[in-house]
Chains A and B, each alone.
Chain A
């Protein structure tokens, strides 16, 4: 299995809702990432997990809460989002040391109404 699987593919949520994005990989990668991508912009790093521990938080607002239950799963919990948070949310994974490049999932298209 050489894929990163993200669910759901599309999500529409109100500003008072609580939802979660899920990411799964079975490549044995020990680093996992959340990126946010706005239209016609490059991906922007949000969080990095290394060996299931949060190693980087790029000053992301607390309405985004990451979780890494085990080495294969990564969640992003969403609460009280704003319309400007609408974007494509990408999950990626890499082997320790990153020398083999990152494998990205297809993303979750999030719309906040």
Chain B
């Protein structure tokens, strides 16, 4: 069964304190791995798509990387406005729909 596991569940950082969020997956033929940001009461906001091991993508303070078993979302020098829940999701070879992890809730304090 396809599965996505995110850790930690919650992460508290001081402003400027860099860290990483983990997404490990088991999927029958990975077609794509997606990172989303979700603010309370809002829909998920697309951040990145990664397709193959070794791929990296960056956007402002965020950098996503992918291996054959997991993905990392690195946050460099975070700011309070980076506080949100970060969701990881995959699509398998059948390509039907996103399979989400439970998310990591990030809190950044100034």
Q: Which residues of A does B touch, CB under 8 Å?
A: 4, 6, 33, 41-45, 48, 55-56, 88, 90, 92, 97-107, 109
Q: Can you report 16 A-B residue pairs in the complex whose CB atoms are below 8 A from each other?
A: A4-B43, A6-B43, A33-B97, A42-B102, A43-B98, A45-B97, A90-B44, A99-B49, A101-B32, A102-B34, A102-B44, A102-B46, A102-B98, A104-B45, A106-B42, A107-B43
Q: Which B-chain residue is minimally distant from A33 (CB atoms)?
A: B97
Say yes or no: B31 contacts A98, CB within 8 Å. Answer: yes
Chain B residues engaging chain A, CB cutoff 8 angstroms: 31-32, 34, 36, 41-46, 49, 51, 87, 91, 95-98, 100-103
B59 to chain A, nearest CB (A): 13
A106 to B101, CA, bound (A): 19
A4 to B45, CA, bound (A): 11
Alpha-carbon gap, A32 to B95, bound state (A): 13
Which A residues are in CB contact (< 8 Å) with B31? 98-99
| B45 and A48 contact, CB distance less than 8 A | no
Please determine whether A99 and B97 come into contact, CB atoms closer than 8 angstroms.
Answer: no
Please determine whether A103 and B46 come into contact, CB atoms closer than 8 angstroms: yes
Asked if A56 and B34 sit within 8 Å, CB to CB, the answer is no
The minimal Cβ–Cβ distance linking A113 to chain B, given in whole angstroms, is 19
- Asked whether, in the complex, the Cβ of A41 is within 8 Å of the Cβ of B34, the reply is no
Q: Given that A99-B32, A101-B34, A101-B46 are known contacts, is A45 also in contact with B98, CB under 8 Å in the complex?
A: yes
A residues near B49, Cβ cutoff 8 Å? 99-101
A48–B41 CB distance below 8 A: no
| A109–B43 alpha-carbon span in the complex (Å) | 11
- Alpha-carbon distance A107/B39, docked complex (angstroms): 12
